[in-house]
A and B are shown apart, each in its own frame.
Chain A
Amino acid sequence: MTGSGPIPITLTVNGRSYRVFAEPRRLLSDVLREDCGLTGTHVGCEHGVCGACTILFDGAPARACLLYAVQAQGCAITTIEAFAANGELSVVQQALHEEHGLQCGFCTPGIVVTMEAWLDRNPDPTEAEIRDALSGNLCRCTGYHNIVAAVMKAAARRRAEAAR
């Protein structure tokens, strides 16, 4: 059991180990940004609604603002930084770029993380299914039309790559 003051916490993020010193109440989203320096995870609403802070928690998309860093010890965390690790955009990132699927870009990390994971399990989605999956990520710029087009394109490319 911990006290309520700062404690040592070891996180595994994008395959790398980070040792931080944080109170149990610190949000995982804040620790990723402020202690690990991984500022690609954006913080919008801090109560699970907007989806900007979505990361992969043991492979499944999760709101980093609804997790406390202390809970994430021993788990594999993947943030947006892992998706273009070698300077090459992920399939969803490239499609968003081509389809003009972002304007201010604040929501984009959460959308990329969510959609890459979602497409793993839903490789051949309909447009309606994509819209439903995207409903968990708020975008106030684009009106979603180009994001949907980008995810459709990304899905087709991923299928083509898988078939090769």
Chain B
Amino acid sequence: MKPGRFSYEAPASLDAALKSLATWRDDAKIIAGGQSLAPMLNMRLARPDHLIDINDLTDLGRVAVDGNRLSIGALVRHHQLGHHELVTQYCPMLAHAAETIGHYAIRQRGTIGGSLAHADPSAQLPLAALTLDAELELRTATTRRMVTADAFFVSIFTTAIEPDELLVAVRLPLRQPREGWGFRLFTRRAGDFAIVSVAATLARGEGAIIERLRIAIGGIAPVPVRTEHLVPAELVTALTEGWSARVAAAVAAAVEIEDNERTPVVFRRELVESLTRDVLDEALERAR
């Protein structure tokens, strides 16, 4: 398993990288951690003429609070994401999600930008980004635009990134007071991509009130999907006995699950129900 021929450059500045990308467009691939791209190159599932290596763009490796958002550079590695003080404080779900990716050595190299741009429908960071209402900053040599996570993920391995655009940063709203979160995967082996993954956040208001419920599910469609709109009105805000199980049952009954040859729909529907119940219980516990 050896890749096809490609030429290579490692630009020293973002401007130089963007200029090169503007020239090569679809004939080039951006390589960051390479933990998804290199396997695809080695198996020749990807055959770019040119690689633009952005590992020298250290400015893209920063994490900072920017107003009411946490800004995370595209080159921040999963291991850093999992242990960075600002991420664990302001986006704890994202830190947790990063630590569940692959294995220890994989997490030392893989990057948040790479994972989001790769857009595997079973991957952790796309699911977390969608749940947390992330915005993604896309740059060309001359333009800059922000895309919300729900508009960013278009289909399997397909995003809104144009051929001359580079994902440079991710911005996430800061965790709010009394906001809890849950994140669970079902995998057959440690480190595998999940068969189904579910993430949720909610806040607990005064009395038995649920606020700002967000639920997202991975592994059931070409992109991760938000599902809180499937929760019946009477369950959305009122915390009652057996609430998480009832919400999970309602979501599992209503959600559309794409057929595939690997895992039966009926099994994934059961996973959706049990994982959703578990993440809601976790979120309730953490929202205290």
Contacts and interface: CB of A to CB of B under 8 A. Distances in A.
Nearest to A113: B105
Interface string A17-37: 000000111010010000000
Given A46-B42, A63-B106, A67-B38, A136 B9 contact: no
A48 interface: yes
Contacts of A70: 8
A114 B102 CA distance: 14
Interface in B100-114: 102-106, 108-109
A68 B48 CA distance: 14
B7 A3 contact: yes
A47 B37 CA distance: 10
Contact of A51 (B2, B41, B105): B105
Contacts of A1: 7-9, 20
Interface stretch (A54-62, A83-91, A94-102, A153-161): A54-62
B157 interface: no
A66 interface: yes
Nearest to A24: B8
Most buried by B among A3, A63, A118: A63
B286 to A, nearest CB: 22
Contact of A118 (B4, B20, B41, B104): B104
B33 to A, nearest CB: 8
Interface string B1-43: 1111111111000000000100000000001001100110111
Task: Please classify how large the interface on chain A is, using the bins under 10, 10 to 19, 20 to 34, 35 or more.
Answer: 20 to 34
A17 to B, nearest CB: 19
B120 to A, nearest CB: 14
B158 interface: no
Contact of A66 (B9, B49, B109, B190): B109
Given A27-B42, A48-B106, A61-B108, A71 B3 contact: no
Nearest to A23: B5
A76 interface: no
Interface in B59-78: none
Interface string A111-139: 00010001000000000000011011100
B78 to A, nearest CB: 12
B238 to A, nearest CB: 39
B38 A135 contact: no
A137 B191 CA distance: 11
A25 B4 contact: yes
A67 B6 CA distance: 14
B105 A62 contact: yes
A65 B42 contact: yes
Nearest to B11: A1
List 3 A-B pairs, minimum CB-CB distance, nearest first: A136-B103, A135-B190, A24-B8
Interface of B: 1-10, 20, 31, 34-35, 38-39, 41-43, 49, 51, 53, 55, 79, 102-106, 108-109, 189-191
26 contacts: A1-B7, A1-B20, A2-B7, A2-B8, A4-B5, A4-B6, A23-B5, A24-B6, A25-B3, A25-B5, A27-B2, A46-B1, A47-B1, A47-B42, A48-B38, A66-B34, A66-B109, A68-B38, A70-B8, A71-B10, A71-B53, A114-B105, A133-B104, A136-B103, A136-B104, A136-B106
Interface of A: 1-4, 23-25, 27, 30, 45-48, 51, 54, 57, 60-63, 65-68, 70-71, 114, 118, 132-133, 135-137
Given A48-B39, A136-B105, 17 more contacts: A1-B7, A1-B9, A2-B8, A2-B9, A4-B6, A24-B51, A25-B41, A54-B105, A61-B104, A62-B108, A66-B42, A67-B38, A68-B8, A133-B104, A135-B103, A136-B102, A137-B103
